[in-house]
């Protein structure tokens, strides 16, 4: 039975209906509920022997920016298509935006979008949809945007996409597209700093500790006659664990053996770090370009803040001999940097960009002339 207050109605009976379609004779009757009215019109019954398109054999993996056609059978009740009917898009490290678009062939068929990180969407026993994000309207066209400010924020990994059909007894078809973007950060290829002028930075959420250097880092040129270079980073959130690395003549980077090449480092459990370099530091302050990198150790949370580098021509005062300003519970030695707490080691893993290198678990860190290495 189907009710039609407007006088127009469509009823679809399928093998999946309850009761299911079967061979035999079907009798059709009309009920008139408007008193004192004479009704005329047309009634059509169509039998189709064309089977619906088969369901995919597995979750469909999407390529960024490439639309994929979908076709869903009519359903007798609101239905979320999951499992082999779902889609998956893999978001790489450093991505800043994921846009999922559903374009229906017939926008009058109500289809909605649901997205979940790390596992397929689902429905609990009470009929509630288990998803991290949703785009819902009465139309068949939907757009869902996930970025660094979303809750939860965008992170690297697999996102599962499912379509919910809320128009009964009507097939749904169209195109679904997922597009991954990486935004242009306020700092780009080795942003050149001006002495004493802070710059804002924004780092995307990461799944593993990550070094941002090279094109995602900073640089400042120290002139002849300078006596001191002070570099300070301050995170907007005190919960962010952000460390500071500086290298003369080249950006901080990881070697194939996992050692971090940096001349100076400041690290703690917070996001506020400082480094001071003077002529008595080891290595000493000299004229030329200093490259600055940031290590983000807080996972699944974007980091924002400010960084400032200041050059002085006055005599340096009260600076550790190795030129590194350290946080509480860290000790400075004349010939190197050591820690009396376990800290992060730095180890290379396969990445898509050499400028964003994932870092390994916490270990003790020591300094050598070739850079900061890892101590097993």
Domain boundaries, the chain: 60-181, 191-375
Q: What angle do CA 337, 254, 322 make, to 5 degrees?
A: 20
Q: Give the phi and the psi of residue 3 in degrees, each rounded to 5.
A: -90, 145
CA distance 59 to 84: 5
- The domain at 60-181 falls in which architecture? Sandwich (2.60)
Q: What is the CATH number of domain 191-375?
A: 2.60.120.380
Taking a C-beta distance cutoff of 8 angstroms, is the pair 373, 366 a contact?
yes
Q: What angle do CA 4, 6, 11 make, to 5 degrees?
A: 30
CA distance 20 to 13: 7
Q: Is 60-181's fold the same as 191-375's?
A: yes
CA distance 149 to 131: 18
- Provide the pLDDT for residue 359: 39
Taking a C-beta distance cutoff of 8 angstroms, is the pair 212, 293 a contact?
yes
- Provide the pLDDT for residue 375: 31
pLDDT by residue for the chain (376 residues), tens only, comes to 666 666 777 777 777 677 878 888 988 888 878 888 888 888 888 887 666 566 677 899 999 999 999 999 998 888 999 999 999 999 987 788 999 999 999 999 999 999 999 999 998 888 889 999 999 998 899 999 998 778 888 888 999 999 999 998 889 999 999 999 975 444 344 789 999 999 999 998 888 888 898 888 999 999 999 999 999 999 999 889 999 999 998 888 876 666 778 899 998 888 999 999 999 998 999 999 999 999 999 988 899 999 999 999 876 455 444 443 333 322 222 222 223 322 343 332 222 222 333 333 322 222 222 233 333 3
Angstrom distances, CA of residue 256 to CA of 307, 354, 357, 373: 29, 11, 11, 12
Nearest to 117 by CA among 80, 149, 173, 155: 155
Element housing 177 (H / E): strand 172-181
Q: Which two tokens stand for residue 278?
A: 């003077």
* Dihedral (Cα; 296, 297, 302, 307), 10-degree rounding: -40
- Provide the pLDDT for residue 210: 86
Per-position DSSP letters for 200-237, written without gaps between them: EEEE---SS-EEE-GGGSEEEEEPTT--EEEEEEEESS
Burial class (CB in 10 A: 0-12, 13-18, 19+), 6: exposed
- Provide the pLDDT for residue 190: 75
Give the pLDDT confidence of 144-168 residue by residue, as tens digits: 999 877 888 888 899 999 999 999 8
Taking a C-beta distance cutoff of 8 angstroms, is the pair 165, 174 a contact?
no
């Amino acid at each position: 039975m189907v009710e039609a207050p407007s006088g127009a109605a469509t009823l679809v009976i399928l093998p999946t209906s309850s009761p299911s379609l079967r061979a035999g004779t079907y009798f059709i009757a009309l009920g008139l509920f408007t008193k004192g009215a004479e009704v005329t019109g047309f009634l059509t019954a169509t039998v189709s022997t064309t089977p619906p398109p088969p369901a995919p054999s597995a979750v469909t993996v999407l390529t960024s920016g490439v639309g994929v056609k979908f076709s869903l059978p009519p359903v007798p009740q609101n239905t979320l298509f999951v499992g082999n009917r779902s889609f998956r898009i893999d978001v790489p490290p450093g991505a800043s935006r994921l846009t999922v678009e559903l374009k229906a062939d017939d926008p009058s068929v109500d289809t909605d979008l649901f997205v979940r990180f790390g596992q397929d969407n689902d429905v609990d026993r009470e009929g509630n949809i288990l998803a991290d994000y949703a785009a819902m309207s009465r139309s068949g066209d939907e757009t869902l945007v996930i970025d660094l400010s979303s809750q939860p924020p965008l992170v690297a990994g697999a996102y599962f996409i499912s379509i919910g059909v809320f128009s009964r007894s009507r097939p749904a078809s169209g195109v679904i597209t997922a597009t991954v973007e990486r935004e242009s950060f306020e700092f780009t290829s080795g942003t050149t700093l001006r002495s004493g002028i802070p710059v804002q930075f924004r780092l995307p959420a990461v799944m593993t500790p990550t070094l941002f250097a090279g094109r995602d880092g900073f640089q400042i040129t120290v002139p002849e006659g300078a006596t001191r270079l002070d570099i300070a980073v301050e995170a907007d959130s005190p919960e962010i664990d952000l460390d500071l690395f500086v290298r003369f003549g080249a950006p901080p980077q990881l070697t194939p053996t996992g050692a971090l090449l940096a001349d100076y480092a400041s690290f703690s459990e917070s996001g506020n770090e400082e480094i001071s370099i003077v002529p008595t530091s080891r290595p000493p302050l000299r004229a030329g370009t200093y490259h600055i990198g940031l290590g983000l150790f807080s996972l699944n949370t974007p980091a924002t803040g400010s960084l400032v580098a200041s050059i002085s021509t006055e005599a340096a005062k009260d600076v550790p001999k190795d030129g590194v300003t350290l946080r509480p519970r860290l000790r400075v030695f004349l010939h190197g940097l050591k820690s009396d707490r376990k800290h992060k080691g730095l180890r290379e893993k396969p990445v898509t960009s050499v400028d964003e290198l994932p870092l390994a678990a916490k270990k003790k860190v020591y300094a050598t002339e070739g850079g900061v290495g890892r101590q097993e």
